[in-house]
Amino acid sequence: MSLSVRRERNGAFTITLDRESAEVLRDLPLKLRAVLSRTDVRDKVVSRLFPKAHDDPKLDAEYRKLLGDELLQRKLESVRVFEESLEREPAAWQQAGRKVKLSVPSGELESWLGFVNDMRLVLGTELDITQDGWEEDFDPNHPQADDFVLLHYLGWLQESLLRAMAGG
């Protein structure tokens, strides 16, 4: 899987993906939407995406009542932007590689960062990763090895986006 992120002179960003990477990323919005449709905050993945704001249950319930829908809508908007930007040129899926252009004023880069971060939280929680250094113990024969690889790839994508954003 390959990846490059480049900031253009006009301030936009171009993400270049190989076909395999693009196809893997293309399937992720459906997975995140399914998680976001769950409402039980006792669900460990949901609670990771929407952590408690207060230790006091009453204050936390009030916070969720006031801002819960807005937080959910922001996450769903990031999913939509990610998905639509990946699908802008459907004919390009026939090519060996894929270029995705993200404009800065529209907030597309921030939506990608939000989406990638949320997907990393979902995968990390599902894989029960609780500390840094999990990559060192990677077992290619693990039944969820593909998810570990995807988590690593999404970390690389996130880092590449942040570096490009910082001008590096």
In the chain, alpha helices (H): 19-36, 44-49, 57-86, 108-126, 145-165
For 97, the 3-state DSSP assignment is: strand
pLDDT tens-place values along the chain, 168 residues long:
778 898 888 888 888 888 888 889 999 999 999 999 887 767 888 888 887 788 888 887 787 777 778 888 999 999 999 999 888 765 555 556 677 888 766 789 999 999 999 999 999 999 888 777 666 677 777 788 888 899 999 999 999 999 998 885
In this prediction, residue 79 carries a pLDDT of 96
Q: Do residues 124 and 37 touch, judged by C-beta distance below 8 A?
A: no
Tokens encoding 97: 């590689």
* Side-chain half-sphere exposure of 73, counting CA atoms within 13 A: 6
Which residues are CB-contacts of 34 (< 8 A; sequence separation ≥ 6)?
Answer: none
pTM (two decimals)? 0.85
Nearest Cα neighbor of 89 from 7, 153, 161, 14 is: 14
